[in-house]
Amino acid sequence: MSKPAILTVDDDPMVSAAITRDLRERYGKDYRVLGATSGAEALSVLDRLALRDQPVALIVTDQRMPVMTGIEFLERAQPQAPTAKQLLLTAYADTDAAIRAINDVGLDHYLLKPWDPPEERLYPVVDDLLEDWRRAHPSPTSDLRVVGHRWSESAHATKTFLARNHVPYRWVDIEEGEEGERLRQAAGASVEDLPLVLVPDGATLRCPSSMELADGLGLRTRAEQPLYDVCIVGGGPAGLASAVYAASEGLQTVIVEREAPGGQAGQSAAIENYLGFPRGLSGSDLTQRAVAQVVRFGAEMVVARDVTGLEQRGPVRAVLLDGQGEIEARSVIVTTGVSYRRLGAAEVDEFTGRGVYYGATASEAIQVAGEEVFLIGAANSAGQAALNLSRHAAHVTVLVRGSDIRSSMSQYLVDRILAAENITVRHRTEVVSARGDGHLESLTLRDRDSGEFEEVATSWLFVFIGAVPRTEWLGELVARDDKGFVLTGPEMLHAVDGAWTQPRGPFALETSLPGVFAAGDVRLDSMKRVASAVGEGAMAVHFVHRYLATI
């Protein structure tokens, strides 16, 4: 594949030459840097690149240009370079227009002119944008291949595990074309062995479990130290924040995640209300940045291991793992978050992984191109998923049990959903059953007010309802409410008589078992937002330090 392009646009020839020169010096080895001195010329360049099937990674344009402003150019350029990152060069007086462009044309970043010195003002911004683009467009030569059936629950689980662990792969459908069948026969595999995971320079994996996938890909699945200062259970935003702060402050830290880092937030197509990111960022991007920090500070990360129990061994807490193994630590932070609640209708759940999906990774939106999609849920996660799916689907119908989506979803999402031409919100509506031959083909809906039933044709249902905490493994040692949410601090004292037996009072995020803390969505009365989970994860480390000083 030819090198991806970086296109610069500025009507001043000297400025155009300068920005092109600076970008070429830094990125010319890996990118083809092209310059244009007008919006019209730049659109012609994009036409030529499209004809050559050459990808465009980044467009850098000045705002103040005659005939066509930078924002107007970016709007016209989107059909020709829909995946390109967009950087607007602007004067201070134009910052309001640049901020509006974040919503209007999906602007990724704006930069005040001049950009000198580029090492301080230009390159860090461009580095981030290009890194985001590379992650979304990995080199096909490095991809592993997954061979399987489109409507296979195990294939869906495999693809989800790879996507959430940021492992690039190429999907080969056994029923489309000859490649899939050829690869199956070459591997000497039966249909029951599907999906196959063909690892470059590695063994062929046959219908692998998450543990087998992780081992086959070289991911860490076992802890290395006999004793840690803190063991963090759960790799969502709260757990990752705890790991960053604990490891950076010198605590011997290990984090255990049963699936992949990021939790529910890691699956979000866009987190737009997180402080410091006016354009928003994807859950995948936030997770990758956080994992890089965790590794940088020396914390261990163990993936694909489910936690099955907790034991008190004097001053040590033992976290028991599925299969074999355990991790001993002087303190534990529980950040296991919540799972989406199942619909409970057998006729629906039998299609799980074959048309019915609980949650959705951002990458799954491409699979629904041109199709009718249904989605259940009224929280922010459902709203973000609906917007992401609507970029590819012919139509998205959001089913809401309540009478007003505004009561549970942030206003900025409500406004965008109601304005979208291919999204319909149906209130007071629920799914009662499903039909299909091998995969989902139709749903039966019920109007909760009239009681009337309606059958709709679809192969896609995404479910974002309820919040079920992952706390059964805590057993009798840690007090929880009747729904399984962990009680902490003063709330725990008021809720359960005799739950706390220490002479000192419990720390704010401490559970009924001294030295075990809880943060994020798993904790009773938590805010259920990414920012609050990150804050609680960091705060838990403060209390870990105070606890360790007492033993």
Question: pLDDT digits over 62-79, tens only?
Answer: 999 999 999 999 999 998
- Give residue 28's identity as a one-letter amino acid code: G
What residues have CB less than 8 Å from 35, skipping those under 6 apart?
7, 8, 9, 10, 16, 17, 19, 20
Alpha-carbon gap, residue 399 to 333, rounded angstroms: 36
Q: Residue 111: its pLDDT value, please?
A: 92
Alpha-carbon gap, residue 42 to 10, rounded angstroms: 9
Alpha-carbon gap, residue 325 to 104, rounded angstroms: 52
Alpha-carbon gap, residue 401 to 1, rounded angstroms: 49
Q: Residue 85: its pLDDT value, please?
A: 96
Q: Give the burial class of 410: count Cβ atoms within 10 A of its Cβ; 0-12 exposed, 13-18 middle, 19 or more buried.
A: middle
Residue listed under structure tokens 């005040």: 112
SS3 503: coil
H runs (alpha helix) in 368-488 = 380-390, 411-419
Q: Give the burial class of 166: count Cβ atoms within 10 A of its Cβ; 0-12 exposed, 13-18 middle, 19 or more buried.
A: middle
Nearest in space to 266 (alpha carbons), one of 168, 356, 129, 360: 360
Q: Residue 105: its pLDDT value, please?
A: 84
- Give residue 514's identity as a one-letter amino acid code: P
Domains, the chain: 5-136 (3.40.50.2300), 140-216 (3.40.30.10), 230-265+298-327+469-548 (3.50.50.60), 346-463 (3.50.50.60)
Alpha-carbon gap, residue 58 to 85, rounded angstroms: 5
- Model confidence pLDDT, tens digit, residues 353-370: 999 999 887 667 888 999
- Find the helix packing angle between 237-248 and 283-296, rounded to 10°: 20
- Is-contact 5 55, C-beta < 8 A? yes
- Model confidence pLDDT, tens digit, residues 303-317: 999 999 999 999 999
Nearest in space to 175 (alpha carbons), one of 156, 194, 197: 194
Alpha-carbon gap, residue 290 to 245, rounded angstroms: 11
Residue listed under structure tokens 């859950």: 283
Q: Residue 141: its pLDDT value, please?
A: 54
Residue listed under structure tokens 């929280």: 379
| β-pair partners for 59 | 7, 86
188 φ, ψ to 5°? Answer: 65, 35
Q: Residue 329: its pLDDT value, please?
A: 98
Q: Which residues of the chain have pLDDT under 70?
A: 1, 139-142, 362-363
First to last CA, the chain: 60
| β-pair partners for 156 | none
What residues have CB less than 8 Å from 215, skipping those under 6 apart?
221
